[in-house]
Amino acid sequence: MSEELTMPRLSDTMEQGTIGRWLKREGESFHEGDVIAEIETDKATMDFQAYEDGTMLRILVADGESAPLGAPIAIIGAEGEEVPDDAPAAASANGDGGAEKPAGEGEAAEPEPQTEEQAPVATATEAAPSNGAPADGGGLRASPIARRMADAGGLDLRTLAGKGTGPDGRIVKADVERALASGANAGPAAPGTPQPPGEGDEVRELTPMLKAVARRMAESKASVPHFYVSSEIDMTRALELRAELNEALADSGEKVSVNDLIVRACAQALLQHPQAHRSYVDGHHVYHAHANIGIAVALDDGLIVPVLRDADSKGVRQLAVEIRDLVTRARDGKLRQSEIEGGTFTVSNMGMFDVAAFSAIINPPESTILAVSSTVERAVVRDGAVVPREIMSVTLSCDHRACSGADGARLLQTVKRHLEAPTLLLA
């Protein structure tokens, strides 16, 4: 008997998913454990495996389309089985899919399910939007997201009357995007709203990952009281140690990076300073038994933070191997769910980009994140003499609800001590 496949929960913060591509098409059979689709979540692209043997009878959400968590995305069953006439239509998360139904004559349109990119929409009893289009339809049918986009872009929806491409001529998101891109009949935007795209500008939808990054970073800066502690670390001896290690490991193919040494120093320091290694959660402090360190990895279009678990229990060589593996699979979109959650601290290293200094935004519920800048050769005074040294700037961002200024300073001081006396990293 046929059954629905629904959008699975593939991350702890997932609210919707996007079908990257179906690996099984309609009419094709599969076995339990086969990967039948690739689904883009707010954190990564994940494989969706079949729970049992079956045949793909109907795809409801096509490649590149999104659906809310738990919405039907396909119908599966036995080979040759007919799909029931009452099978659900596609439930698109953007509000413009096949699940969209126009309101009947004289009826107010029912609110569509909200997704993370949709703001609350006006009902028939609320004030008309500032673009002049009647809120109750008034003969002009438009989806809530189309109304919101038109309002933000200063577009009078009445100029699109009779031109909608949705059901029964309803104006949908794509219609507004085309109108805004062409600049057709767009008046001045309401005060405080974004300006419509200029001539030659390209408008692109955010990926689920970028939407999640934007949302979480905005929430963090708005709700977490950040403070910052900065220092300069003399990396001369650490770089010498790295060179010695890599020379000794040359035949094995292993290689230790500067970032591996930084992660090792942070893992050691975190266990020495539990006051700076705790999270503020629902009015309580959660002290972490192990240093699960996130490694910020820049992607072609976005950012992901795979988590190296129990970093405090691993030596430099093991850290180097595991970090390289995590970073490689992060860029290939092959991380497992357990590898992108559960972090207690993050290292964000932009030293390779010739960055003099920066401050990073905390990734809750973590309470600290270390921003690492470039290492540069500078003339410094040592024992009364001016000598060249390799100096690296770092800034520790702290959540003041979990970590005091002194706690953050002591943590950073210990990280510095371990990197300036790098034999401690081998202990």
Active site residues: 400
Q: For tokens 């650490």, what's the residue?
A: 238
339 residue type, one letter: E
- Per DSSP bridges, beta strands 297-299 and 226-234 are unpaired
What the block records as the tokens of 223 is: 């709700």
Short-list 325, 347, 327, CA closest to 266: 347
Please report how the helices 258-272 and 405-420 are oriented relative to each other, as an axis angle in degrees rounded to 10. 130
What the block records as the tokens of 241 is: 């140690």
Question: How many other C-beta atoms lie within 10 A of the C-beta of residue 156?
Answer: 17
DSSP characters for 338-403?
GGGS--SEEEEE-GGGT-----PPP-TT--EEEEEEEEEEEEEEETTEEEEEEEEEEEEEEETTT-
What the block records as the tokens of 400 is: 């003041």
248 residue type, one letter: A
